[in-house]
Amino acid sequence: MSKVIIYTDGACKGNPGLGGYGAILMYNEHKKEIKGAIPDTTNNKMELTAVIEALKQIKFECSIDIYTDSQYVQRGMTEWIAGWKKKNWNKVKNIELWQELDSLASTHKVTWNWVKAHNGDPLNERADELANIAIEEYLAK
């Protein structure tokens, strides 16, 4: 099974406010960076969106290591999601994003890794930079 490594991050200027996401996908010697911005959103939505948009880039079943500095995303997918499903997603915030993420992740073998934000991990720092660049580019329009 092919192996993909993904680093993601979300950012928000105000919460709610203008948000951005960034992700780096690595497969063998290939590396792809993606970014985007959404007005009137929250930081948690941007953290989820970063992973969703990254997973949308992958067109074949593979083993994926996802690195996020969001405990909300990491713990949501490793600890909380089974309970949410058991309770029919009752009272889950950002339900549409969680359901989309769950659907996308279910087609792969995903390992969810948490990394401390702004702690010198170059790929985490780059994902953060991409999210903030997306916000700046949106504001420059």
| pLDDT tens per residue across span 51-72 | 999 999 999 999 999 999 999 9
Report the pLDDT value the prediction gives residue 1, as an integer from 0 to 100: 83
Per the rule left: phi > 0, alpha: psi between -120 and 50, beta: everything else, 93 is beta
The answer to whether 69 is a known catalytic residue is: yes
Report the pLDDT value the prediction gives residue 58, as an integer from 0 to 100: 96
Q: What is the number of domains present in the chain?
A: 1
The answer to whether 9 is a known catalytic residue is: yes
- What's the domain range around 57? 3-140
> Residues of the chain whose pLDDT is less than 50?
none
Report the pLDDT value the prediction gives residue 90, as an integer from 0 to 100: 94
Q: Of these residues, 20, 47, 76, 108, which one is catalytic?
A: 47
110-135 CB burial, b ≥16 within 10 A, e <16 = bebeebeeeeebebbbbbbebbbbbb
- The CATH code of the domain that includes 96 is 3.30.420.10
